[in-house]
Structure 1
Amino acid sequence: MKIKTVVIVEDHKLLSQAIEGLVNSFDGFKVLYLCSNGQKLLEKLKFQKNIPDLILMDINMPILNGIETTKILTKEFPEIKVIALTVESDDKLILEMLKAGAKSYLLKDAEKEVLETALNHTESFGYYHTPKISNLLINSLNDQEKYESPHLKEREIEFLRHACSELTYKEIAEKMYLSPKTVDGYRDTLFQKLNVKNRIGLVLYAIKHKIFNINIK
């Protein structure tokens, strides 16, 4: 099993160390280092050494907060998956963090098992959200959608359904008997057509328009 590396960005040292201990106890995960704010993280990353697979990111931090840091990471290090881990439960802040590029969003009162699930799902499938966050995103999509739904081709709809599954893009290509490059083309076209920026947006669009059905309890 390949070990997935994690960096924790948290300004409270004791909490940061406690989270480190939890993550290191999970099978397949190892904490590379701790940072007390976004600026220190970016200073570490600019040398292109010890680039992590995942980052657990607090929002409210001094010098450079989690939202601004995530925006920079999304632009300069898109391969890194950011999971927000914070006490902030305000809907506006949640949406700002997700729009900045965070793949998942957890509150610090989450159970240990939820954190482990979030790490595994984010690494394997690209995102993880609790039912509360999923409902918030769907409602936000309803509020923001002010244009007529674009016409989707049959193969685009097929790809969209597969994108809602646990399949990787490579596995989707195999299932559709297409090259990975062609599937990437479908993805990028749908990003533009549906005005979304990532796989989470594709999934939410598919749920809203009943292209894919899911029971959220």
Structure 2
Amino acid sequence: MNKTIIIVDDHRLFAQSLQILVNSFEGFEVIKAFKNGEELVKYFQEGNVSPDIILLDMRMPVMDGMATMEWLKENHPNQKVLTLTVDQEDETIIKMLRLGCRGYLLKDIDPEEFEHALNAIDRTGYYSNKTISEALSREERKQKYEELTERELEFLGHACSELTYKAIAGEMNLSPKTVENYRESLFSKLHVKSRVGLVIFAIKEGICEV
């Protein structure tokens, strides 16, 4: 029996093309296509059977992808959802994953990857790709950056210079022991083991320039 798919996308031409593509994949069949989340909600509220996977766009009128995902998390938390959109903002990707989205694809992907994603979600429940991993990596770095105190950031800036730790202590009007504590704190927070690691992090985050 084919796995059932529902498409939620307000672009009719894209939705129709997507339906043709999905139906060409072995083992998958589109049973419904809706223009927005509100139509999907109505479908569920009328007692219709849940599809195996929902293909969800982000930018839609009436009820967008985020609002739809929030409703699904509250009312159908086990529903498998694959986002298919042009929105590649890290914040959007992270929020959708936290709401229970099982995968996140951009609309310019190759059909082969799309089919692979559907099969992965069907078999394992999830699909991870470069878009997701890079967003998660940037989010992790952002969280690390936000954990740093002003004095730790000041020390990090000095660490990117040619100053010795003793000279940095002088610049910051601190004892060498206190500067050492800042260094060890940063090693722990940023999961690095050397001054080089500190510098690499600072360069990536734009804290210092080379």
Work out the CA distance in 1 between the residues paired with 2:131 and 2:58. 18
Normalised by the size of structure 1, how large is the TM-score?
Answer: 0.63
Whether the 8 Å contact between 1:53 and 1:79 is mirrored in structure 2 is: no
How far the C-alpha of 1:106 sits from its partner, in A, is 0.2
- Map 1:1-217; keep pairs closer than 5 Å: 2-141=1-140, 143-144=142-143
How far the C-alpha of 1:127 sits from its partner, in A, is 1.0
Whether the 8 Å contact between 1:70 and 1:102 is mirrored in structure 2 is: yes
**Secondary structure of the corresponding residue to residue 49 of structure 2:** coil
How far the C-alpha of 1:73 sits from its partner, in A, is 0.6
Amino acid across the alignment from 1:8: I
Amino acid across the alignment from 2:92: L
How far the C-alpha of 1:66 sits from its partner, in A, is 0.2
Amino acid across the alignment from 1:114: E
Whether the 8 Å contact between 1:5 and 1:31 is mirrored in structure 2 is: yes
Aligned to 1:172: none
Normalised by the size of structure 2, how large is the TM-score?
Answer: 0.65
How far the C-alpha of 1:143 sits from its partner, in A, is 4.1
**Secondary structure of the corresponding residue to residue 113 of structure 2:** helix
Work out the CA distance in 2 between the residues paired with 1:91 and 1:139. 8
Whether the 8 Å contact between 2:105 and 2:131 is mirrored in structure 1 is: no
Unaligned runs of at least 5 residues, structure 1: 148-207, 209-217
**Secondary structure of the corresponding residue to residue 47 of structure 2:** coil
Task: Give 1 or 2 for the bigger CA radius of gyration.
Answer: 2
**Secondary structure of the corresponding residue to residue 132 of structure 2:** helix
Aligned to 1:197: none
**Secondary structure of the corresponding residue to residue 117 of structure 2:** helix
How far the C-alpha of 1:24 sits from its partner, in A, is 0.5
Amino acid across the alignment from 1:94: I
Once the two structures are overlaid, the 10-residue window that deviates more, 76-85 or 28-37, is: 76-85
Cα deviation, 1:150-206, whole Å, max 9, x if unaligned, reads xxxxxxxxxxxxxxxxxxxxxxxxxxxxxxxxxxxxxxxxxxxxxxxxxxxxxxxxx
Amino acid across the alignment from 1:65: D
Amino acid across the alignment from 1:96: K
Amino acid across the alignment from 1:75: E
How far the C-alpha of 1:142 sits from its partner, in A, is 5.0
Cα deviation, 1:76-115, whole Å, max 9, x if unaligned, reads 1122101000011121222222222211000000010111
**Secondary structure of the corresponding residue to residue 16 of structure 2:** helix
Whether the 8 Å contact between 1:10 and 1:36 is mirrored in structure 2 is: yes
Aligned to 2:172: none
